Structure 1
Amino acid sequence: MSKIVRFHATGGPEVLTLEDVEVRAPGQGEIRIRTRALGVNRADAMLRSGHLAEFPSGIGWEASGEVEAIGPDVEGFTVGDAVSLIPCFRATDYPIHGELAVAPATAVVKHPDALSWEQAAALWGQYLTAYGALVETADLQAGDTVLIPAASSSVGLAAIQVARSVGARPVALTRSSAKRRRLLDEGAEAVVVTGEEDVVTRVNELTDGHGARVMFDPVGGPALADLTGAAAPGGTVILYGALSSEATTLPVLQTIGKSLTIRGYKVFDLTTDVERRKVAVDWIVDGVARKVLRPVIDTVFPLEDIVAAHRRLESGSQVGKIVVTVPR
């Protein structure tokens, strides 16, 4: 029996429990992993608080650990390999968070040796999201200015690093002035504190009136008007989340007048495409090797404190990834 994170009803972090579960052997095209660290994502909280057809449900998309068993028709792995998981499957089909996890072999990668278990569990979701949106989709180039709302999130910090790696100018947006110094230390060229500064005015100052070519937004809501207002003519707004509880209104005349592109993005479009995923993984591994990409970890919790880990996620006060360690 293994300790597995489960929940029997949707709700807040308190619905999560650790239960003793018999984890099945890996089937065809699957690998069983003895986990060492788990990455906690906003998508986990959305799953936990949403509506599911069946209970109990497991949870989790990201983890690192060691290959414990290999199913039929799986090549390239041996028992004991250090691996981590790419989010490219439904967590309700493959619940990852627990001491043992069965995953499709297509989601399993051998991460760079330089990474700790905690860093490996904090790698793929955030960097694949930032790479897919900024490099693959927006074709971010040297000299481009990119606006990054919710910049202290794990994806926001990854976006800062990805932008820096191609020579672009990352401008971080945050609601908290207390995070300004930390975001500058993490590589932001400038920080705009929303609610205290006018976003459009400040971005125009930073870009000599040209505006930002790329906006990378997980929030939506009324603040979308600030992003389109601060956008350069021909700019691209990439929406990859809906953190705002308020309605999102599209500034139609501004969008038309500036010939803006408003594009929805989800990382699963990238991670479920074998060829695109390989290019992205190689790009990220190279960035880690060159030390231009470095996972930022906010807080590490032990597995028995999984509820506290989710509470930290929902506090909005974190800077970087929340990780849960699994005892051996």
Structure 2
Amino acid sequence: MPSWSNIPSDYPRPSLPNSKFVLVRIYAIGLNRAELRARNAEPISPVEFGIFQGEFHEQCPKIIGEEFVGEVVEAGAETGLQVGDRVAAWAYGGGKAYDGSYAEYTICHYRRCWTLGDAARDVPWEVLGAIPMGLWTAYGAIFLAADTKPGDIVFIHGATSSVGLWGLLAAKDKGCTVIASTRQKGKVQKLKDAGADYVLLESELADPESIRKIAPKGVDTVLELVGLEALEKISMPATARGGTVVKCGILGKVWKQEVGAGLVTAMRKLTTFTTLDEDFEEAGRILRDAVEKVKNEVYRKEHFLDSVFDLEDVGKAHQRMEDCEATGKVVLRVS
């Protein structure tokens, strides 16, 4: 388990660097696997900073953390935000441009900060904390990058991750048929409870015809979350002619992969959903719509929220995420 005992916990409250930033009192933090890299000061790509690549630098911050929910306590004149607004926000690249979200207060550029609407006042903070990046990544990958339509067949490879579960929920909400995968038999029922039409174990995917038995012509969209190593053997062969594979996850921790003849032969359409694709207004609309649906139990918290830890127990939370024990989002509560 990561040792946090020697890490200082007393830092000054940050101040706004300019009029485009807000200061937010954080109440919940959604954990992301990128923070496992940030914790170890492993290298990242400038691409992870999206439209903010000008902020990239190699030095790690003292405080990591990519996303959070909370209330605006100070707003720069150019932000359009107000004190008291309930917001969701994220800082790309593991929080390397500025200190991240593992804290009571953080600063955020207004282009990475979205109001959550009136419904957010009826949803607990820890539930709100399980929504932002997982939902937006999944929605953007399936419906923006892949242009998936209602009635399409979607295969989610790595479906028990936060992004995977949000992809499942969003795709079902749009009327798609969903095939989901997991490595663990104990998580099969959880995927079915969340709405998956079919669930395949990773061991079953070793048979290249496993998905074709469900979708003889192949699936329309693959949300590939396991990683590059799965493209040639699983994702591409499962995809229908004219279909799309969206690669936006590295659950398998393989960061480089050679393109072999088999991948070229299987190739349909491969794309990625990155922060460069981000539409600020669309992201806000999708987030607010999701909060409304959570309030009305269209999206039920037990389907996307795995567990909640106090900020002081961040080591235990990281261990749960690193050991792949979670089904859905692990959240830190900030009291």
Q: Which residue of 1 aligns with 2:15?
A: 25
Q: Which residue of 2 aligns with 1:47?
A: 38
Partner Cα distance (2:179, 2:193) in 1: 13
CA shift, 1:259, in A, is: 5.7
Q: What is the root-mean-square deviation of aligned Cα atoms in Å?
A: 2.6
- Show CA shifts across 1:62-82 (max 9, x none): 11122222233332312x332
TM-score (norm 1): 0.85
TM-score (norm 2): 0.83
Give the 3 Å change call, closer, same or farther, for CA 145–87 of structure 1 in structure 2. Answer: farther
Give the 3 Å change call, closer, same or farther, for CA 92–269 of structure 1 in structure 2. Answer: same
2:93 matches 1:85: no
Q: Is the 8 Å Cα contact of residues 154 and 222 (structure 2) preserved in structure 1?
A: yes
Gaps of 5+ in 2: 44-56
Partner Cα distance (1:306, 1:192) in 2: 32
Give the 3 Å change call, closer, same or farther, for CA 274–110 of structure 1 in structure 2. Answer: closer
- 3-state SS of 1:44 partner: helix
2:99 matches 1:116: no
Give the 3 Å change call, closer, same or farther, for CA 117–285 of structure 1 in structure 2. Answer: closer
Partner Cα distance (1:184, 1:231) in 2: 22
Partner Cα distance (1:262, 1:197) in 2: 20
Partner Cα distance (2:96, 2:212) in 1: 45
- 3-state SS of 2:211 partner: helix
Partner Cα distance (2:27, 2:289) in 1: 25
CA shift, 1:278, in A, is: 4.3
Task: Show the 5 A alignment for 1:206-221.
Answer: 206-207=214-215, 209-221=216-228
2:97 matches 1:97: no
CA shift, 1:108, in A, is: 2.2
Give the 3 Å change call, closer, same or farther, for CA 289–118 of structure 1 in structure 2. Answer: closer
- Show CA shifts across 1:13-40 (max 9, x none): 3368352011222232111111111111
Partner Cα distance (1:199, 1:289) in 2: 41
- 2:283 pairs, out of 274, 277, 288, with 277
Give the 3 Å change call, closer, same or farther, for CA 255–168 of structure 1 in structure 2. Answer: farther
Give the 3 Å change call, closer, same or farther, for CA 285–136 of structure 1 in structure 2. Answer: farther
Question: Partner amino acid for 2:257?
Answer: T
Q: Which residue of 1 aligns with 2:156?
A: 148
Q: Is the 8 Å Cα contact of residues 236 and 267 (structure 2) preserved in structure 1?
A: no
Q: Which residue of 2 aligns with 1:128?
A: 136
More displaced stretch, 234-243 vs 80-89? 80-89
Q: Is the 8 Å Cα contact of residues 228 and 251 (structure 1) preserved in structure 2?
A: no
Identity %, equivalent residues: 28
2:181 matches 1:173: yes
- 3-state SS of 1:202 partner: coil
Question: Partner amino acid for 1:102?
Answer: I
Q: Which residue of 2 aligns with 1:7?
A: none
Partner Cα distance (1:89, 1:220) in 2: 18
- 3-state SS of 1:204 partner: coil
- 3-state SS of 1:58 partner: coil
Q: Which residue of 1 aligns with 2:112?
A: 107
Q: Is the 8 Å Cα contact of residues 96 and 103 (structure 1) preserved in structure 2?
A: no
Q: Is the 8 Å Cα contact of residues 309 and 331 (structure 2) preserved in structure 1?
A: yes
Q: Is the 8 Å Cα contact of residues 221 and 245 (structure 1) preserved in structure 2?
A: no
Question: Partner amino acid for 1:28?
Answer: S
More displaced stretch, 25-34 vs 309-318? 25-34
Q: Which residue of 1 aligns with 2:309?
A: 301
Gaps of 5+ in 1: 1-11
Question: Partner amino acid for 1:41?
Answer: N
- Show CA shifts across 1:107-133 (max 9, x none): 222223232101211111011101111
Give the 3 Å change call, closer, same or farther, for CA 259–89 of structure 1 in structure 2. Answer: closer
Question: Partner amino acid for 2:3?
Answer: E
CA shift, 1:221, in A, is: 4.3
Q: Which residue of 2 aligns with 1:193?
A: 201
Question: Partner amino acid for 1:93?
Answer: A
2:18 matches 1:13: no
Q: Which residue of 2 aligns with 1:3?
A: none
Question: Partner amino acid for 2:75?
Answer: I
Q: Aligned pairs, how many? A: 311
Question: Partner amino acid for 1:173?
Answer: S
- 3-state SS of 1:205 partner: coil
